[in-house]
Chains A and B, each alone.
Chain A
């Protein structure tokens, strides 16, 4: 009985200390932020309830988008190599093949209407900064026309089967123009010098971000970087919740590839230890019965 009392005292003291230096300290250093918003409800320049017309969308895309953007899936190739594209625009413009799948509809429509507001980069592209985002705002288009484009993009996006390959494709489309993923052999499609000039600093390699930032942080951060890192030049990219989960899943596949092995082996080792502990207890009882 006395030994249990001693154990209780130690567990209490260690518990208080642990609470103070882990959950409590983390709470102080990283206060809770507004929950991720995957409907991007602050963006309301375009009425997304309008039904889009694919045919008209195709005409509009051909007239307005493909001069800069490739849409490989619809047969519109890239106009120039990545290095030249980066030199011309600052960053390689995205291929729009997967845009209809990975970006939220409301975000995409509002992005076309006004990219800087949608990306939440009003702080970077101020009139005083003299910087301009390479893509112009299409706020002169009618909401109907914008929804035609969105509907067209959704119609051409290839179906993907879920799994590691889809996760990788989503990661490359959403993050791969700026970020390296060294442990997966992925290099940003935009050359480093252009990136540094365009972003103000070289965007980090994401190989270990699942470990250094963790799923909880990434969940908020990718949804809207400004919330956790105010003033960052990383844009809000407008991923749907599903696409974001695919990105995070891929980061985990690369950054924490032994997770499944760790969790399975952990249970076996603990079971083994438990058996050892029980045998040790029985042996101790036998031995001490002779001396007590």
Chain B
């Protein structure tokens, strides 16, 4: 055993045993972030804070929630919302937080795409981020079932039904997922388990991995500039703070994040207290009833774009049914972002507006995703169905064309 001399201070005592001084350096005061960044670089900290809000509010909700089809609805809408002191506050924070977390995830994700922060060494950051997106989607979907309202039930019914389209094993798979032939008590209980245990554990692991993946290629910057972080760090430590291209995570980077966080939280709490219907659909305040289909069934807003890709194919093409085509397109839509680093064949790491062809692709994608999201909510009748089809096709074509567009771009800029 190592020989420990008597510590002179509490800090030293802990430092001897846990190496806290070095730990703080590595994690905070000498963790280097580029200086040339804007507020979009604060999204990661926003997400971490929102996730913490979700965990804490979730723990409080867990104390009173009852995962049973006969009790779930009233345990949420009566016990939590009306009986428990500030139970409503925890539910509002949880529901609105779940919705807003996706807004920030999308901003974070498209910031990454816009600035090319997924390539030239940053592939694992991107892939782990996409993994988090999928895990958050599963978490959002499983949580939405728990209040056992009409939309909980019917969204669960429609989404689990999707798996029925998988060849050969589809029907059995649906029964396996639901734990019954229809969405029932067993479905609720297992989604409760997924929501409060398995998926949160996976998310925590994926977050640690995502942060870890950042350490080696380092954070990207506004101009996509590559520089030697060690050299810049030395300048900073030598006192040339203004000249150095980096700043430490604490306190410089975080001071900016807290500022962004402050104003973001103002917006967040406005939604929590005064404008929450977008995250707590009124239809879901009717108790689940398997015999009464609501007039309009739609998922939460953050799933609308992929939901629209799913239902955009509503007619048979070349002998393949619309349902199967939709399912294939839906599968592609959910997986395609993972391979973004390899679809983009241009070596350029620059903001999209400095890339001759990619900029068009990016804004086209943005526009298409907005159209998909809006039409994902509207009833798919008449002209709406065709807008859905066209925008779903556009989505697929955009990704199919990406390698060619970026290859041509690489040629044009001559490998810069």
Residues of A within 8 A of B (CB): 2-3, 6-7, 10, 13-14, 16-18, 20-22, 24-25, 28-29, 182-183, 204, 207-208, 211-214, 257-258, 261-263, 265-267, 269-270, 273-274, 276-281, 283-284, 287-288, 290-292
B285 touching A266, Cβ below 8 Å: no
Contacts known (A258-B88, A273-B269); A6 close to B301, Cβ less than 8 A: no
The answer to whether A17 and B373 touch (CB under 8 A), given A211-B285, A214-B282, A266-B274, is yes
Q: Are A17 and B252 in contact (CB under 8 A)?
A: no
A291 contacts which of B88, B252, B366 (Cβ < 8 Å)?
Answer: B252
User: Which of A16, A25, A270 meets B273, CB within 8 Å?
Assistant: A270
Select one of B82, B259, B286 contacting A257, CB under 8 A: B82
Identify 20 residue pairs between A and B in the complex whose beta-carbon atoms are under 8 Å apart, listed by A's number. A20-B374, A21-B374, A25-B374, A258-B81, A261-B88, A266-B273, A270-B266, A273-B265, A274-B262, A274-B266, A276-B262, A276-B265, A277-B262, A277-B265, A280-B258, A283-B259, A284-B255, A290-B242, A291-B244, A291-B247
Which of A21, A273, A288 sits near B256, CB closer than 8 Å? A288
Alpha-carbon distance between A279 and B261 when the two chains are bound, in angstroms: 12
Measured CB to CB, the closest approach of chain B to A30, in angstroms, equals: 9
Q: Which 8 residue pairs across A and B have the least CB separation, nearest first?
A: A266-B273, A277-B262, A20-B374, A212-B285, A211-B285, A284-B259, A280-B258, A287-B255
Cβ A213 vs Cβ B259 within 8 A: no
Say whether B88 contacts A273, CB under 8 Å. Answer: no
In the complex the two chains form, what is the Cα distance from A283 to B262 in whole Å?
Answer: 12
- Docked Cα-Cα span, A213 to B150, in Å, equals 13
B270 within 8 A of A: yes
Q: Which residue of B lies closest to A29 (CB)?
A: B296
Residues in B with CB closer than 8 Å to A13 are: 366, 370
Assess whether B61 is interfacial by the CB under 8 Å rule: no
CB <8 Å contact, A208 and B77: yes
Q: Check A283 against B377 for contact (C-beta < 8 Å).
A: no
B384 to A: closest C-beta gap in Å: 9
Q: B251 contacts the other chain (Cβ, under 8 Å)? A: yes
The yes or no answer to B35 lying at the interface (CB within 8 A) is yes
CA distance A257 to B78 in the complex (A): 10
Residue of A nearest to B276 (CB): A262
Q: Which residues of A contact B277 (CB under 8 A)?
A: 22
A17, B370: Cβ atoms closer than 8 Å: yes
- A28-B378, A28-B379, A265-B89 known; A208-B272 Cβ under 8 A: no
- Chain A hits for B370, CB < 8 A: 13, 16-17, 20
Choose one: B78, B107, B265, B286; the contact of A212 (CB below 8 Å). B286
Q: B106's closest neighbor in chain A, by CB?
A: A14
Q: Is B103 an interface residue (CB 8 A)?
A: yes
Closest to B384 in A: A28
Q: How far is the CA of A251 from the CA of B259 in the complex (A)?
A: 42
Q: Are A20 and B373 in contact (CB under 8 A)?
A: yes
Per the 8 Å Cβ criterion, residues 340-394 of B in contact with A are 366, 370, 373-374, 376-379
Determine the chain A residues whose CB is within 8 A of the CB of B82 once the complex forms: 183, 257-258
Partner of B255, one of A183, A262, A283, A292: A283
Other than the given A183-B82, A266-B273, A273-B262, 16 more pairs (CB < 8 A) read A18-B278, A20-B370, A20-B374, A29-B296, A211-B285, A212-B282, A262-B89, A265-B273, A276-B265, A277-B262, A280-B261, A284-B258, A284-B259, A287-B256, A288-B255, A292-B242
Contacts of B38 in A (CB 8 A): 2-3, 6
Which residues of chain A come closer than 8 Å to B374, judged between CB atoms? 17, 20-21, 24-25
| Known A24-B374, A28-B378: A211·B265 in contact at CB below 8 Å | no
Interface presence of B168 (CB below 8 A): no
Tell me whether A262 and B256 are in contact (CB under 8 A). Answer: no
Q: Is B263 in the interface zone, CB < 8 Å from A?
A: yes
With A29-B379, A266-B269, A284-B255 known to touch, is A211 a contact of B282 (CB < 8 Å)?
yes
Which of B252, B262, B277, B304 has the most CB atoms of chain A within a 10 A radius of its CB? Answer: B262
CB-based contact B379/A21 at 8 Å: no
Determine the distance from Cα of A240 to Cα of B51 in the docked complex, in whole angstroms. 49
Judged by a CB distance under 8 angstroms, whether B39 is at the interface is yes
Q: Cβ of B71 < 8 Å from any Cβ of A?
A: no
A22:B278 contact, CB within 8 angstroms: yes
Chain B: CB-nearest residue to A272: B269
B109 at the interface (CB under 8 A from A): no
A3 touches B39 (CB 8 A): yes
Chain B residues with Cβ below 8 Å from A284 are 255-256, 258-259
Shortest CB–CB separation between residue B237 and chain A, in angstroms? 13
Specify the chain B residue showing the minimal Cβ separation from A21.
Answer: B377
CA distance A6 to B38 in the complex (A): 9
Residue B295, interface by CB 8 Å: yes
Q: Are A269 and B259 in contact (CB under 8 A)?
A: no
Residues from 77 to 132 in B contacting A, C-beta threshold 8 Å: 77-78, 81-82, 88-89, 92, 103, 107
Q: Are B259 and A20 in contact (CB under 8 A)?
A: no
- Output the least CB separation between A155 and chain B (Å): 40
